[in-house]
Structure 1
Amino acid sequence: MMDAEEAILRVWHGHALPWSRAVREGRIASRRLVTDAAVVAAVLALAPGRVIDLGCGEGWLARALAGQGIDVLGVDAVPALVEAAQVAGGGRYRVMDYAAIAAGGLHEQADVAVCNFSLLGAESVDLLLRAVPSLLSPGGALVIQTLHPCAACGDAPYRDGWREGSWAGCGNGFGEAAPWYFRTLAGWQRSFRDAGLSLRGIAEPVHPETGRPASIVLTLQPQA
């Protein structure tokens, strides 16, 4: 469904400004209460010297990690988001989509690659995951934070497939929402296996108000 893949990028190109405001003003409760700290902790636990933030958005994670003395390269397909990140500083930034990274266009390696709520597609995500081992230094790891399948499934059938998106909880200024590809836990595991990645650890940050998983954080390494 390449039309859905293209819709993801189209929507994000049109929402760089409201998204940057939502993040920087702390409008998204789950991020403010749980998930931002969860992904920072997962990366810091690996004690990296260099990090590649894949789908860096307006750069908040790069800035947080740079504040810990880490050299961070942020990469995103949306020029307006990369520009916002560059203005705020805290890292190096580059405009590049996942297809270009998968084709070997990045020419960078790091101790940790991180994808924080940035794996939204189907084919594009599988392409990126297969490229991750080439982005990692020996002994390096990939950290993924994404929606927890059990919490995000809702009333829909629990199977891999495209879902309608939503900007609920992000505040004002948003219009059309991008579709996203729902993966079951087994679906994620298939994608990891096909990419030559092995699961090293799982965390399930819990929202302090709902008592439900706010996300799932996966740490992976290339298969030996």
Structure 2
Amino acid sequence: MNPHSDERIVDSWEKNATQWAATVRNRKVESRKLVTDKAIVESILSHSPESVMDVGCGEGWLIRELAPGVPHLAGVDVVPELIELARTAGGGSFLAASYEEVAAGRIEGAFDVVVCNFSLLGKESVEALFGAVPGYLKSGGVFIVQTLHPVVANDQAYVDGWREGSWDGFGSEFVDPAPWYFRTLESWVALFSDNGLRLASMREPLHPDTGKPASVIFTGEVIPPSNF
């Protein structure tokens, strides 16, 4: 298996599914507890959606958080164990599927919001997903992505490329960290525009202790066809 590949990312998350679910449910990630969980929920609800699809939903926390105010919720993740945990906890409908399957049209229906919350770690799979998202959006719908802020997360040359993963700050029960594909801000913006999505907003939620961006949240909307 290529050590820097989308396949390798999936393999790592399959090995760490139980540990990750426990970490999320016990709110052990400080930046999520203080900043980023609230930021993504607010970003979604600001659009008053009737339907949301969470791609890379993990154990389903975001679906459960949205359930009181959003009637139709769907979560998708490639790791079957995480999907089973999400189904058991409830809040919406859940499907085990890869990003490639989502890109190929496996999901039925259209949504007011498609969201990816810290779930776009690969290269080819992410690019394929971006190409498919406009087809999953209702008229006026938006694609919301929260990810690591490229400036804060970067400790190497500021260029796109694969980086080694790490479980630093997590428990010793986590094993075999996944690699991830680093993108500059320019490259993230290009992913939207190259796939028929206009960047409607870009937020940079700040960590209250460090004063640095805890993440970046992009909101894209489908570019309407030209009349010319």
What TM-score results when the alignment is normalised by the length of structure 2? Answer: 0.95
1:185 aligned partner:
185
Paired residue type of 1:185: L
**1:69–1:112 distance in 2 versus 1, CA, 3 Å:** closer
Asked if 1 retains the 8 angstrom alpha-carbon contact of 2:3 and 2:179, the reply is no
- Deviations for 1:97-145, whole angstroms, at most 9, x for unmatched residues? 1101111111221100000000000111010000000111111001100
Shift in Å at residue 2 of structure 1?
8.8
| 1:90 partner letter | G
The one-letter amino acid of 1:157's match is A
Within 2, Cα distance between the matches of 1:152 and 1:140? 29
- Correspondence for 2:167: 167
* CA distance, structure 2, for counterparts of residue 143 and residue 125 of structure 1: 14
Tell me which moved more, 1-10 or 58-67.
1-10
Shift of 1:68: 2.0
Distance in 1, Cα, partners of 2:68 & 2:12? 31
1 CA distance for matches of 2:167 and 2:24? 12
Matched residue pairs, number? 223
- Structure 2 equivalent of residue 54 of structure 1: 55
2:120 equivalent in structure 1: 119
Q: Which amino acid in the other structure matches residue 171 of structure 1?
A: G
Deviations 1:75-102 (A, max 9, x none): 0000000000001111110011110111
Q: Please tell me whether the aligned partners of residues 113 and 132 of structure 1 are also in contact (alpha carbons under 8 angstroms).
A: yes
Distance 2:158 2:108 in 1: 38
1:167 partner amino acid: W
Q: Structure 1 residue 3: deviation in Å?
A: 5.2
Shift of 1:165: 1.1
Check if 1:88 corresponds to 2:89.
yes
What is the match of residue 153 of structure 2? 152
Please give the residue correspondences for 1:71-86 in structure 2 after superposition, counting only pairs within 5 Å: 71-86=72-87
Q: Could you tell me which residue of structure 2 aligns to residue 221 of structure 1? A: 221
**Residue 205 of structure 2 contacts residue 215 of structure 2 at CA under 8 Å; is this kept in 1?**
yes
Structure 2 residue matching 1:191: 3-state secondary structure: helix
Gaps of 5+ in 2: none
SS in 2 for 1:84: helix
Q: Which residue of 2 aligns with 1:203?
A: 203
Mean CA deviation greater in 181-190 or 42-51: 181-190
Distance 1:69 1:3 in 2: 37
- Identical positions, percent: 48
CA contact (8 A) 2:144 2:220 kept: yes
Which AA in structure 1 matches 2:140? Answer: G
Which has the larger displacement, 77-86 or 170-179? 170-179
Give how far 1:194 is off.
Answer: 1.8
Q: Is 1:23 the counterpart of 2:24 in the alignment?
A: yes
Asked if the contact 1:55/1:74 (under 8 Å) is kept, the reply is yes
CA distance in structure 1 between the aligned counterparts of 2:179 and 2:86, rounded to whole angstroms = 24
TM-score (norm 1): 0.97
> Which consecutive unaligned segments of at least 5 residues does structure 1 have?
none
SS at match of 2:113: strand
Give the conservation status (yes or no) of the 8 Å contact 1:126–1:195.
no
Decide whether the 8 Å contact of 1:54 with 1:114 is kept in 2: yes
RMSD: 1.2
SS in 1 for 2:95: strand
One-letter amino acid of the structure 2 residue matched with residue 118 of structure 1? S
